[in-house]
Structure 1
Amino acid sequence: MTRAGAPRDHGGGLDAAAARWGGTRSDWLDLSTGINPVPYPLPDLPAGAWTALPDAAATARLEAAARRFWAVPESAGLVLAPGASALIVRLPDIAPPGPVRIPGPTYNEHAAAFRLAGRTLTEAPAPVTVLVHPNNPDGRLRSAADLGPGLTVVDESFCDTDPGRSLIAATARPGTLILKSFGKFWGLAGLRLGAAIAHPETLADLAERLGPWPVSGPALAIGAAALSDIPWAESTRARLAADAARLDRLMAGRGARPLGGTPLFRLYETGDAAAWQDRLARHRIWSRIFPWSRGWLRLGLPAPAGWPRLEDALA
């Protein structure tokens, strides 16, 4: 999250946590991110996925699966990338000139990318608007009425838990660019796979800026399999929703007030988030706090084996 002048902070950072509270990475239960703790099961990969340059047929299979899964309008284009972050840093290159509106607090890499490009951030309507939908960390949802007058970038990295709320239909016309992240919902953040979806006029030369073979052969094959596995996606949505409700009940029973979030992470008002983080860290459980809020604590979902450990730490 970021506001003007605030440092860039993220989840993760287990090495620093272990240096302060002890243990090794393998000792820790990392709840500081919003990554699905039960990842998509990796399919068998052909040897060529590792040894050959990614071919056009593998790219086409992934693009077709992505279009079906995300219901991409026929008139919209799709650009694959090695993670959503690789797209975020290139957005200033294709965005119209002028100030940029990024309602916050929200994911801080968007503001960082535009600042590095020399852009001014503003709270007023601007030629470029960036919305995170659902928002990170509070889960706020947007609608088509929130799209700005110029280019609107909509980061839907956490929207695959609730596809009915996607604003993907707006990409049928110029002016809206949707970002998708594969790592969150499918739990494979290390695979590095993302997509930008927009009318071809809006995408401009984004694909050229990424260069040839931006997505690895294994990522192409795994992504195509995962995006085609609709039963897995449906059962995963149900499990995540149930686990998010379970986490809310657990935290509310310990005195924290649920503020929202998504089925992949939950946000709580604790009064003293640093004290809560310290308490959990002494049990080798890592959480997320924010430099601009004294009370907000964000928790991802534990894997099934991690629930007793979290419950014991909060007892």
Structure 2
Amino acid sequence: MPDTPRDHGGGVDAAAARFGGTRSDWIDLSTGINPVPYPLPALPADAWTALPDAAAQTALEQAARRFWSVPEGAAVLAAPGASSLIARIPALTMPGTVDIPTPTYNEHAAAFTAQGWALSGTAPQAAAPQARVLVHPNNPTGRFWTAQDLTAPLTVIDESFCDIAPERSLIAHATQPGRIVLKSFGKFWGLAGLRLGFAIGDPALIDRLAQMLGPWPVSGPALIIGTHALTDPDWARKTRIRLNEDAARLDALMVRAGARVSVSSGTPLFRLYEVSDPAHWQERLARHHVWSRIFPYSNTFLRLGLPAPQHWARLEAAL
């Protein structure tokens, strides 16, 4: 079976090879990563030298349970990034048909097809799909789903960006059989390089995922940093306020430059715009060493993450 192409943000090295400059010269707005990350706590030396402590993993998972108000009856598993979970979830049950509403980022489709699943848009519609993936809020449109959309025997709710609006989370439904909610630590907390993610849901499925990951799935530094961050609700509250303010500032800047804010608009971590020629816009920004995101399935979408505080002036000049 041919591998489903993966379409990601990033790729600054390739952009630099085409448009010049070194990686440090570039502003990468092609991702949805918080440009003001959680401040790292001091780490003890044995965080690097000792095997990760089981008690530290338990402490992290308990902190996650409290932060996300995980209901009793749902299990929590910390993992080395949400992507590692996405790659393993399709193996939890026998292949069938999976419904992944589009447009959305295609890592889920790639993972399911690699395990022999058929996408609902390409399979005969004789029966309801055996699995469904809902990216909540969706990437890139920002669409939120509802409990009425959780319809398949295996339902994956990808809440990688949902920490910008915790009141919209569907985690209250994670106790139901066949439900898995994914959380990413790299987006809202801005620590993508830490490689930390969570699966929350049906205990039987979470236990199988834990067995797939094996012992010591999360590094010692990630255990400590993640626990600190998830027990700091004040930082999270202030960050949501700042992200919303910066998203509005970016919208105003892009509208002045001639873009239209998409009806779906994205999220406070990334903004979605409609332009007449996305490739032209991407090249125009790239000549100023600003990297943006366009999509192979759309001839109008241009997506920008938020710039770091020191980069607003450069972005305005590039536009």
> What's the TM-score, normalizing by structure 2?
0.95
Distance in 2 (alpha carbons) for counterparts of 1:278 and 1:286: 9
Partner of 1:137: 140
Q: Of 187, 190, 195, which residue of structure 2 is paired with 1:192?
A: 195
- Please tell me whether residue 287 in structure 1 is matched to residue 292 in structure 2: yes
Q: Is the 8 A contact 2:5 2:110 kept in 1?
A: no
Sequence identity (%): 67
Q: Is the 8 A contact 1:99 1:128 kept in 2?
A: yes
Partner of 1:49: 47
Partner of 2:62: 64
Partner of 2:22: 24
**Cα gap change, 1:5 to 1:91, in 2 (>3 Å):** closer
Q: Is the 8 A contact 2:3 2:110 kept in 1?
A: no
- Structure 1 residue ranges (4+ consecutive) displaced by more than 4 angstroms after TM superposition: none
Give CA deviations for 1:252-286 in whole Å, capped at 9, x if unaligned: 12211111101100010011000100110111100
Partner of 1:224: 227
Residue identity matched to 1:296 = F
Partner of 1:234: 237
Partner of 1:15: 13
Residue identity matched to 1:198 = G
> What's the TM-score, normalizing by structure 1?
0.96
Residue identity matched to 2:31 = T
Q: Is the 8 A contact 2:4 2:114 kept in 1?
A: no
Unaligned runs of 5+ in 2: none
Tell me the CA shift for residue 199 of structure 1: 2.1
Aligned ranges for residues 152-301 of structure 1 at < 5 Å? Answer: 152-259=155-262, 260-301=265-306
Q: How many residues align?
A: 311
Distance in 1 (alpha carbons) for counterparts of 2:179 and 2:221: 30
Q: Is the 8 A contact 1:94 1:204 kept in 2?
A: no
- Please tell me whether residue 150 in structure 1 is matched to residue 148 in structure 2: no
Q: Is the 8 A contact 1:95 1:128 kept in 2?
A: no
Secondary structure of the residue aligned to 1:268 is strand
Secondary structure of the residue aligned to 1:201 is helix
Secondary structure of the residue aligned to 1:88 is helix
Q: Is the 8 A contact 1:77 1:203 kept in 2?
A: yes
Distance in 1 (alpha carbons) for counterparts of 2:4 and 2:283: 22
Secondary structure of the residue aligned to 1:89 is helix
Distance in 2 (alpha carbons) for counterparts of 1:285 and 1:190: 21
Tell me the CA shift for residue 246 of structure 1: 0.8
- Please tell me whether residue 303 in structure 1 is matched to residue 308 in structure 2: yes
Residue identity matched to 2:162 = C
Residue identity matched to 1:112 = A
**Cα gap change, 1:5 to 1:296, in 2 (>3 Å):** farther
Tell me the CA shift for residue 95 of structure 1: 3.3
Give the superposed CA RMSD. Answer: 1.4
Distance in 2 (alpha carbons) for counterparts of 1:95 and 1:35: 32
Question: Larger deviation: 21-30 or 166-175?
Answer: 166-175
Distance in 2 (alpha carbons) for counterparts of 1:140 and 1:304: 27
Distance in 2 (alpha carbons) for counterparts of 1:276 and 1:19: 18
Tell me the CA shift for residue 99 of structure 1: 0.7
